[in-house]
Amino acid sequence: PFPAGANRRGDGKIRVAIAGIGNCANSLVQGVHYYKDAPEDKFIPGLMHVNLGGYHIGDVEFVAAFDVDADKVGKDLSEAIWSGQNNTIKFTDVPFMGVEVQRGETYDGIGKYLSQVIEISDAEPVNVAQVLREREVDVLISYLPVGSEEATKYYVNQALEAGCGFINSIPVFIAGRPEWRAKFEEKVLPIVGDDIKSQ
C-alpha cells in the first residue's frame, strides 16, 4: 500500500504543486509536457528515467501553483512560466493547463535585488495548506529563490499540514536536518532535497 498522502486516489497519477514559478519551474513544466508520451524502451537524451518506480513522466499532473510576482499571480501556469523576469529557453509549446497561479506568502522570498525588478502582487495570500488538500496534492515542489529560508519553512509546514510530500529544490537545509525529517517520517510522507542536481 502507498503511504498516507502519496497517490491517495489510486489513479496512478502524481498530483504536483509548485511554489515559485521561475525559470526552473518553467523547465520542469515544459519537460513534463514534452516527454509525456516518451517511449519506455528507448534512450531519451536529457531524460534520466522515463519510468521511475512504476510512474511514467506522463503520470505527473500539475494541479496548483504559488508565487508573489504581480505579473504571474492570477495567470494560468502555462502563461505564468513565460511572465515576469523568466527567460529560460523555450523547447515546446505548453497548452492551457487550467491551473491558476495563486498568491503565496512572501516572508524572505524576495531579496533586495529581486525586489528591484519585480512588483509584489497586492492580492491576498491564499491558505496554501487548504489549497493543497482541496487539489489532493501528492507532492509540493519548492522552486523559491535561493536564500528563502523562512519562506521555505512556511511551505514545508503547509505540506505537513496538508499531508503531502515535499521536494526542496533550493539550498536551504530541510531534508538534511533530523528534526524536519522526523516530522515527515511521523506522517509517513516523502521529503526530498536539499537542492536538486541539474535544476
For the domain that residue 66 is a member of, what is the CATH number?
Answer: 3.40.50.720
- Is residue 2 one of the residues assigned to a domain? no
- Is residue 184 one of the residues assigned to a domain? yes
Query: What domain count does the chain have?
Result: 1
pTM of the model: 0.92
Distances (CA, A) of 82 to 11, 79, 85, 193: 31, 6, 8, 26
Domain of residue 52, residue span: 14-192
* DSSP E strand stretches across the chain: 14-19, 51-52, 55-56, 60-67, 101-103, 139-142, 165-168, 191-192
74 neighbors 19 (Cβ within 8 angstroms): no
- Is residue 1 one of the residues assigned to a domain? no
pLDDT 10s digits, 52-66: 999 999 999 999 999
pLDDT surpasses 50 at 7: no
pLDDT 10s digits, 82-103: 999 999 999 999 999 999 999 9
- Is residue 4 one of the residues assigned to a domain? no
Distance of alpha carbon 40 from alpha carbon 52, whole angstroms: 10
- Is residue 3 one of the residues assigned to a domain? no
The percent helix, strand, coil of the chain (3-state, each to 5) is 25, 20, 55
User: Distance from first CA to last CA of the chain, Å, rounded?
Assistant: 31
